Every structure is written in structure tokens, then in C-alpha cells.
Chains A and B, each alone.
Chain A
Amino acid sequence: MKIAVLVKQVPGSESVLPINEGQSWINEDPVTFVMNPPDNFALEEALLIKERKGEGEVVVVSMGPNRVQKVIREGLAKGGDRGIHIEEDEPIETDPLLIAKRFAAVLKDENFDLVLTGLQSDDTGMGQTGVLLGEILGMPTATLAIETDIQGESIRLKRELESGWFQWVQFPLPASVSIQSGLNTPRYPSLKGIMGAKKKEIKTVLGSELDASSRSQSIDKVFVSQTSKQTEVIDGDVDVAVQRIAEILRSEIKVV
């Protein structure tokens, strides 16, 4: 069982996000980066599938500038067997088709049985890389899996639909599946894992040499959203705030 997990490095949810000078993206300098939280669930699911089978290989694949080696190393510390880094000059590539083509170029000769991705990235939130990649590699795909079950040469999985509905689907391997967050409890790396990860291989390939397609879409500008709603901001002393909320509930919305 050979499994590829795609992990992205993204700004942490607590990080500052200053807009850069050209307003094209954020200024990365003060940003703290983490493994994209949805991808952490995909990584955990890959490790669990390997452990249940008792054999296999989990390959952690990431795309981006040099800094993304940190999340690959984190994946290896948790139990990944080796890593692949698709190196990009740009701090962030925002075109999902181009991203998927580059991943596909790296993965196609590896003959993976299963490709796992997170639901979407916390930075650009395009939510389509795993499905694009599946189509390019000729694999069946499914999204929002909350339970996986490998059955011989096929995979059976429980998908989340909307409004509390679910559905089981099954298709043959190889396949590309995106994982819904919350389906497992991602592990922390052990000290032994961290030490061991230093010796594991990370292969680096240049993104521009994998696929030279031109960009099909791009993020041109980022900005702070303008709210049209009149908001009363209550800030400062707790007791004053409490009195004001009580008054709002009693006299303005009249629910008490």
C-alpha cells in the first residue's frame, strides 16, 4: 500500500497577516507558518491506513519555497517514510490547475495506490487540488471522507453530504481522496520520531521543470473586507460590558 499525502504550509491561525506593499499577498516576514490543519488529518489517516494494513509506505509531498521542508520533516517525524519537495520560487502559487499539474508530474511515475489531501487550505482555500490531481492521473476521486476502509483492491468511504447527511461510496484503487477535518485525532511526533526524521530522505524537484504551463487564474489583490453593517463595539472594562449586554438583551432586542 503506497500512499501519498499532500501537505501545505500555511500561516497559523494566530499569526499576524500584514498585507504586502504591492497588495498582491501578505508580507511573510513576521508570519508564523504551520502545517495546514486539514492536511494534518489527511496525514494521520494515511498513517492509520498503513498501520491497519501492517505494511506500506507513506510519502509526504509538499510544494512551495524552501521553508516548506519544515512541514515535510514534521510529517516524517510523525511516521511518514520519505518526503518529496516541489520547490517553487514564488512564496505562494495560487493557480490550482498549475499546482495539480506539477504534483501529477511528480506522482505519476511513483504508482501510488492512494493519494490523500486535506479538505482545503487555510490560505487560499481553493479546495480542489486532490480532485484535479485525481482527474489528471486518471483516478476516481471523492471529497469530504470521514471514514476510510481499504477492501482489497478498492476503497470504501463514508462521505459527508450537507445538512447532516452521509453516504458510503466505493471505487477501485488507485484513487485520490480528500479528507474531512475531525475524522481522527492527529498524533504528535515522538522524540524518537523527531530524531529518526532527520535521517529520512526528502527529494527536491524544481516545480518549473515539471510543468511549464502558463497560469490559468491568479489572485491579483488582497484587502481587508469593508463591512456595511453598523456595529456597536463594546471594549474595555468587563463589568461595564456586562451591564451593556444586559441592557441590550432587556431593552433593545427585548429577549429577557
Chain B
Amino acid sequence: MNILVVLEDNQGSLHRLSREAVAGAQKLGGSVTALAIGKNAGSLASELSSYELEEILTVEHDLLSSYSADGYSEVVTQVIQSKSPKTIVVGHTYQTRDFMPRVSAKLDIPFIPDIISLSDEGFVKQVLNAKLNASVSSESDQMILSFQSAAFNDEEMITGSSTITTFDVELDVSSVRSTSEEPFQEAAGDVDLENAELLVSVGRGIEKEENVHLAFDLAEVIGAEVSASRPVVDSGWVDSFRQVGSSGHNVAPKLYFSLGVSGAIQHVVGMKGSKNIIAINKDPEAPIFELSDYAIVGDVLEIVPKLIEALKN
């Protein structure tokens, strides 16, 4: 085995980023083995049965009925020790961030996270608040990689065949120190961002809570919903169910009109599939402009009131 892809269970089905991780692993070249962990391991494995994989390993155990960093890192460590893959690949998700560093430290294998693309020089990730890119390389024989959302396209997964094999792990009660309660959702609100045709999205450039109405006013004029970036939600200016990005919703509207959103990667992963992107930002270097169709360099507080007037006439 050259590459091991560790899959993630997203409420019974394969996490989208796990599919993209398989596509990325196949692109790296060599034989690819996938690993499914937990009570849904069998169904996760069967979702991949028609793709070109050397093997799909499934691990089930009483102590793995719910996710824990201790349990999952121990399983992945045992699989790596047994199969000696050169490269271990995962999607860059909240769950892999939670347990893969433990594997890295247990086995002394570097973990290069949040990769957005491959280049001749190494693995590319964003640094310095997405203002610059960096190429990163491993100086070890083995390495762990996590791929950011949309680094690879899951439609490019190579089809073929694979076999599903059970892998036995040794786990005892003392190796899982945490107890987890059932996951829950908080007030979801009655806004369906993910199916909205048009979105006006508000970011830190709105400056003050008193200015947030500008986004709602503009949205009303063009018939859009209002979404927001994380800093605005964290400040309590906009409800959390309106948040777009890795800790909020994934959206792909016909128009994404952003007002003072800088475009940090955590936000961008949730909206880069939008058909048309208009962005207003004071900073000509704002990363949001890189993926915008229309980049307006200017002050939201000056432009938006005039735009509302112009659209009303």
C-alpha cells in the first residue's frame, strides 16, 4: 500500500471531503487503500465499492460506536503500523483536525494540513490570513496530508473495483478516556440559505452593528437572503444560522454579493461554488477579490446606500 485514506462518517454517509480525499489520493498515484471506522463502517465502505481501490478496511468495536479522539487516533495508528503506508490522506474537517495530530505525535509522522493544491515544489496551503500561499514539504519518509474542501473534485474519482476487509484492532476501556453526549443542533432559524438564489453577505467591513441594516436593505431591494461571515456572527450582529463557511452553511447561489467580507479560507470554502460573485471591500488585496467576477474596491458604507437608491429608481 502506498496511500491510506481515512474516511469520515457524516451521519451515516461518507463525508464529501472524504470523497475528495479519495480523488486526491488517486491523483497522487500508487495504490490507494481506504479505512472506514465505527458503527457505519460497512455502509461507508460500500459507498466506495465501485471505485479503484486496493482495499477498503473496516474497523468496528464497541468503543468506537461514537467518535472519540482517543479511539480514532489509536485505530489509525494501529492500521499505519500494520500496513506501513507512505502517505496518509484525509479531508480537512473539524474531526480530522481533532484526532490526526495525535496520530502524528504517536508515530512521529509530520501532518501537513489544509492543502489547497499540489505543485511541483510541494503541497500548497494558504498562510497569513490567506494573503499568501506557501509550499510545504515533508522531510520524513511518511506523511499525513489533509485536503481542503474542493482541492480535488470527487467527480474525478477513478472507478473500478475493490474488496472490503475487516481489520481487527486492540482497544481496551482505558484507551478511550472521554465520554461523549449526542450531537445536537441549536436554533436553526427559518432561513434556507443553502437553497437561496441570491445572497447578500455581510463581513467585518460593515464595521458596526448599526450598519448591518444596509445588508438587509440591499437584500430586500434585490430579493435576496442575508448571510454573514464568522466574525460578524461572533460579534453578535447577525444570527448564527446565517453564517456561511466551514462552521456554517455551504452555499452556491446564482449571486453572492459580499459586503466587506475579506475572504478567509474558512469563509471561502462555503461559498466558492457561487455562480456570480460581486465583492465590495476597501482593501484591494482582500482575498475575496481573487474569486470574484466583479471586484469593487471601495467603502461599503458609502457605496451601498447609493446603490440602494440607484436600484429603487
**A residues within 8 Å of B by Cβ?**
11, 13, 17, 19, 26, 94-97, 100, 122-128, 131-132, 134-136, 140-144, 159-172, 181-182, 214-225, 227, 229-235, 238-239, 241-243, 245-246, 248-249, 253, 255-256
Complex alpha-carbon distance, A159 and B177, angstroms: 16
On whether the beta carbons of A182 and B178 are closer than 8 Å, the reply is no
Choose from A96, A127, A161 the contact partner of B183 (Cβ within 8 Å): A161
Choose from B243, B291, B295, B306 the contact partner of A238 (Cβ within 8 Å): B306
Q: How does the 8 Å CB contact mask read for B231-274 relative to A, with 1 for contact and 0 for none?
A: 00110000011010011111000110000000000000000000
Nearest A-chain residue to B124, judged by Cβ:
A225
Chain A residues whose C-beta falls within 8 Å of the C-beta of B294 in the assembled complex:
231-232, 234, 245, 248
18 residue pairs of the A-B complex, CB under 8 angstroms, read A94-B136, A97-B111, A126-B114, A128-B97, A128-B101, A128-B113, A140-B178, A141-B69, A163-B248, A171-B179, A222-B127, A222-B134, A223-B132, A223-B134, A231-B290, A231-B293, A238-B303, A245-B296
Q: Is the interface of A mostly helix, strand, loop or mixed?
A: mixed
Beyond the given A161-B94, A242-B307, A253-B276, please list 11 additional residue pairs across the A-B interface where CB-CB is below 8 A.
Answer: A96-B110, A125-B114, A128-B104, A132-B102, A143-B97, A169-B68, A182-B233, A218-B137, A227-B291, A242-B310, A249-B311
Q: Is the interface of B mostly helix, strand, loop or mixed?
A: mixed
Chain B residues whose C-beta falls within 8 Å of the C-beta of A234 in the assembled complex:
294-298
Q: Which are the 6 A-B pairs with shortest beta-carbon distances?
A: A182-B234, A131-B101, A135-B105, A216-B110, A128-B101, A217-B110
On whether the beta carbons of A217 and B138 are closer than 8 Å, the reply is yes
In the assembled complex, how far is the CB of residue A44 from the closest CB belonging to chain B, in whole angstroms?
13
**B residues within 8 Å of A by Cβ?**
68-70, 73, 93-95, 97-102, 104-106, 108-114, 121-122, 125-129, 131-140, 143, 177-186, 188, 198, 221-224, 230, 233-234, 240-241, 243, 246-250, 254-255, 276, 278, 284, 289-299, 302-303, 306-307, 310-311
Complex alpha-carbon distance, A94 and B104, angstroms: 15
Nearest A-chain residue to B182, judged by Cβ:
A167
On whether the beta carbons of A249 and B183 are closer than 8 Å, the reply is no
In the assembled complex, how far is the CB of residue A204 from the closest CB belonging to chain B, in whole angstroms?
26
On whether the beta carbons of A164 and B240 are closer than 8 Å, the reply is yes
On whether the beta carbons of A122 and B129 are closer than 8 Å, the reply is yes
In the assembled complex, how far is the CB of residue B172 from the closest CB belonging to chain A, in whole angstroms?
15
